[in-house]
Amino acid sequence: MRQLSEHDAAYIYSDSAHANSNVTLLHIYDQTTAPGGKVRFKQILTHVESRLGQLPVFREKILRVPLDLDYPYWIEDENFDIEYHVRHIALPKPGDWRQFCIQASRIHARPLDLNRPLWEMYVIEGLDSFLDLPVGSFAVLLKVHHAAIDVAQGNEITTLLHDLSPDSPPPAPPAPWFPESAPGNLGLLLRAGFNVATFPLRIAQPLTRSWTTLKSAARTFAGEFVGRPHEFPMTRFNSEVSPHRVFETRRFALADFKAIRGLADGATINDVVLAVCAGGLRRYLDMQGELPEESLVAAAPIAVHGEGKEQGQAVFSWVRLEVGTDIADPVERLETIHATSSSSDVMAQAVSARELIELAEHAPSAAIAATSKMLRSASALLGNWAPLANCAIANVPGPRVPLYLHGARLTYVSAIMPISDGMGLVFSVTSYSDMIVVSFTACYEQLPDPEVFALCLRDSFQEYLALVRPPVRRKARPMAAKAPQRKAAAPVPKVPRRKAASRAAAH
């Protein structure tokens, strides 16, 4: 039995009827590389069961302290049933990409049972109308609660479930497993009392060592993240969300992103990703007649260099970043994003956020308390809640070499991210082999036409690509059926805000 950290417990406490903290990883496979050209559900079930010992949280459930007097615990599930967690479904014909996105969104939106280990896996067949994939391809959708695993560890899960060769040996029998018994309520209350009594002793020494760091980091973090959240315009995505989700994605060649970054001196692939997402967002809001004159702001990861054992290694830290949605020229937008992301102010944000994270590892209560105080101050100034950014753009690193599941070659990796009130749009950017996948998750009432938004992302990318490649040489490769040609002169209907946006006005 082990206790959740303050950070992980916050994900449990923040779940609501219309917004949960599920993270969903999507994998699609070509089973023609498997022995006999076929992978059966029972083989996948056995494969997953044989590797559960390498990820203990997959057999653990949440045990809450009475009256929530202390943070919850992870406790092994005495009634663990692998067949409850690993499920088998199929898309109805024709089995196209749009059906797959709808099904994945519905699964992602459903809350996980907090009385069981916080994950579910779906083996999905019937993907018979996907472009660029042979008939018979199948998908594996893995939904995990954010409290159980970090997004950054999604690559760890992907690696754990896969092999580097299609000729991997058969899975070994699972090791014997004997779950521990859960303590009673009295035992939990005694632990809670002990934690409260020893709290000052546990934080005194690390807090003394880190006080200067805390003050500096908190000051910068407060100034950049909390002190100025009113300086960017609100959009349809910055209102209350509903329980309904939409998801779409587009795939691109990594080589094209490398070529595009040459349009701006010193630009990185991450800058290009931000520019493409910003261009798509600009196009969509302009089509609806809702494009603000000022630039929108995204919460995005920026690379900072660690010290000590991490010295010289890039460590990603979250910052608020203007993404140039007010700039029509794509090259100027890319140059502006690069200049902003490498500016001293933004780097100070990133370093301060990183320092708070490192401090939380040593004195978590002090860091959480400082952050909570800043957020409370922002609420007092700006109302009950205010979004800290218009959207989020999250990096979910993927493997760089081909991977196989029971011999079937992995061809696609993506992620569906949690959204929340005030931030109803999140981009996830995944990489695998020589591809980059840009996906987005949103609230249906705020984005009822995700296929249109996906086309806006594709057009944004094509605008950049046309500057470095002949226009007809390469196209973005969506995982969907070809979209009908749109007449240039045809007016695009405006998509009205839905009830979720109007409800937010009362908050």
Identify which of 469, 480, 428 has the alpha carbon closest to the alpha carbon of residue 256: 469
* Residue 192 pLDDT greater than 70, yes or no: no
**pLDDT score recorded for residue 195:** 59
**pLDDT score recorded for residue 354:** 46
Q: Other C-beta atoms within 10 Å of 464: how many?
A: 23
Tokens 């011999």 identify what position? 407
Contact by Cβ (8 Å): 89, 41: no
Where in the chain are the domains? 2-186
- Least confident span in 89-93, 354-358, 492-496: 354-358
Tokens linked to 396: 């979910």
pLDDT winner (highest mean) among 274-288, 400-414, 458-472, 475-489 = 274-288
* Residue 293 pLDDT greater than 70, yes or no: yes
Q: pLDDT: is 412 or 492 the higher one?
A: 412
* Residue 371 pLDDT greater than 60, yes or no: no
Q: Which amino acid is at 45?
A: L
**pLDDT score recorded for residue 196:** 55
| Confidence at 496, pLDDT banded by 50, 70, 90 | low
Q: Other C-beta atoms within 10 Å of 115: how many?
A: 10
Average pLDDT on 152-163 reads: 72
Tokens linked to 147: 């409290």
**What CATH number should be reported for the domain whose range is 2-186?**
3.30.559.10
Contact by Cβ (8 Å): 437, 273: no
* Residue 77 pLDDT greater than 90, yes or no: yes
Contact by Cβ (8 Å): 146, 11: yes
Q: Up-side HSE of residue 282: CA atoms within 13 Å toward CB?
A: 25
Q: pLDDT: is 154 or 273 the higher one?
A: 273
**Under the phi-then-psi rule, with left for phi > 0, alpha for psi from -120 to 50, and beta for the rest, what region is 407?**
left
For 251, phi then psi, to 5°, come to -105, 145
pTM of the full predicted structure?
0.79
Tokens linked to 368: 């959480």
Which DSSP string do the residues of 437-496 spell out, in sequence order?
EEEEEEETTT-S-HHHHHHHHHHHHHHHHTTTS-TTT---B-SSPPPPPPPTTSPPPPPP
Compute the radius of gyration of the chain from its Cα atoms: 23
> How far from 380 is each of 5, 386, 479, CA to CA, in Å?
27, 10, 45
* Residue 424 pLDDT greater than 80, yes or no: yes
